[in-house]
Amino acid sequence: MTTHPKLTALAESLPATVPFVGPEAQERQRGRPFRARIGANESGFGPSPAVQAVIAAAAGDVWKYADPENHDLKAALGAHLGIAAENIVIGEGIDGLLGLIVRLFVEAGQPVVTSLGAYPTFNYHVAGFGGRLVTVPYANDREDLNGLLAAVKREDAPLLYLSNPDNPMGTWWEADEISRLIEALPETTMLVLDEAYGETAPASAMPALDVSRPNVLRMRTFSKAYGLAGLRCGYALGETQMIRAFDKVRNHFGVNRVAQTAALAALADQQYLRSVVADVDACRKRIAGIAVANGLVALPSATNFVTFDCGGDGAPALRVMQELIKRDVFVRKPMAPVLDRCIRVSVGPSAEIDLFEQELPEALKAARG
């Protein structure tokens, strides 16, 4: 009998899993590629031509380690946002930063508040560092701000996660409601405000940037509107001392050289960003129209996807998703109760939305039959 090194008790207790099954894994299982990849909330419009050129030019320098301080990117972001570089930390996408935040602020066994059905990668990190999840159901397909606040106070939670605009529903709260929540939070509770979809949201949903408040970390990314999901580059904005704490635990070489270079070029090309935001808006409207034409309800969206209400419980929506996947159209769905009555369709190039429009009626017919 082979003896293995012993895992920690926490690691031993965790399932070996991933928060999402990627489309690549599904393609391997199916034995063929998807014809439409509109399920992962990526930007099918891609990065700007200027960014692609910079990436190609940077390829010859990958023998060098990246700048572990991310100096140039932090300086550029600071100038763009009107804050100091000391108020910014760069990481391997928001996902990487979420893991660091849990590690920094949550002791084993402590409660962490989030919404039931919200971003599962955050839950994965909470479990991985031994936190105890406390979940609050959505209310009318939006994260329940009052319920979240009540749970934080009841549990004396050190950490609260909220995405605005929301994933997986695409809904949002206006800035004054988010500010009200921030004002009401205990000073000892850190709010992780995930604004991954901020570029595609109405300006009225984004509170003014205030980096003087120690208990708010605002998360942004180059994965969505900027079209750099595959390079993994995101950032957090916050009070100087809280940002400095990331240097205690972060992977200093985690953001690779090409990602830093590409993010700089993407930030500089705001004209292209504006064109993508316009394309996202137009595609959201088209997808919503397809839903309505097929007897489904499309939820209002401030993200780069549209969530459809398929009616009933989770079973009809699951069948619709499965039937679309059979037809080589990759989409996803929420899995939490109540939210699971929906499917979620990402915006994308016209040819892929054409295919979705073509296949949806037959998928619905098969799912209902």
The CATH number assigned to the domain holding 177 equals 3.40.640.10
Is residue 269 scored above 80 in pLDDT? yes
Res 17: pLDDT: 82
Residues 91-104: pLDDT tens digits? 999 999 999 999 99
Show which of 226, 246, 268 is a domain's final residue.
268
> 207, 236, 268: which is the final residue of a domain?
268
Task: Answer whether 0.85 is exceeded by the pTM.
Answer: yes
Residues 261 and 313 in one domain: no
The pLDDT assigned to 347 comes to 98
What is the per-residue pLDDT for 3? 86
246, 268, 290 — which closes off a domain?
268
Report the alpha-carbon distance of residue 246 to residue 100 in Å, rounded: 7
| Predicted confidence (pLDDT) per residue in 179-203, tens digit | 999 999 999 999 999 999 999 999 9
Q: In the predicted model, is pLDDT for residue 128 greater than 90?
A: yes
My answer on whether 205 and 294 are in the same domain is no
Position 2 in a domain: no
Residues 215 and 293 reside in one and the same domain: no
Q: Does 1 fall in a domain?
A: no
Mean pLDDT of all residues in 222-243: 98
Query: What whole-number percentage of the chain has pLDDT above 90?
Result: 96
- Are 253 and 294 in the same domain? no
pLDDT of residue 21: 86
What's the average model confidence in pLDDT over 128-137?
Answer: 97
Do residues 164 and 74 share a domain?
Answer: yes
Number of domains forming the structure of the chain = 2
- pLDDT band, residue 19 (cuts 50/70/90): confident
- Does residue 262 share a domain with residue 183? yes
- Asked if 310 and 221 sit in the same domain, the reply is no
108 and 211 housed in the same domain: yes
- Residue 89 resides in a domain: yes
Domain that holds residue 358: 21-46+271-368
Same domain for 336 and 223: no
Q: Residue 214 pLDDT more than 80?
A: yes
Question: How far apart, in whole angstroms, are the C-alpha atoms of residue 346 and residue 362?
Answer: 19
The pLDDT, as a whole number, for residue 219 is 98
- Asked if 224 and 135 sit in the same domain, the reply is yes
| Alpha-helical segments (H) within the chain | 9-13, 23-30, 49-58, 71-81, 93-105, 120-128, 145-155, 175-184, 240-245, 257-268, 270-293, 314-326, 350-368
pLDDT per position as a tens digit, 66-77: 999 999 999 999
- Flag whether 256 is in a domain: yes
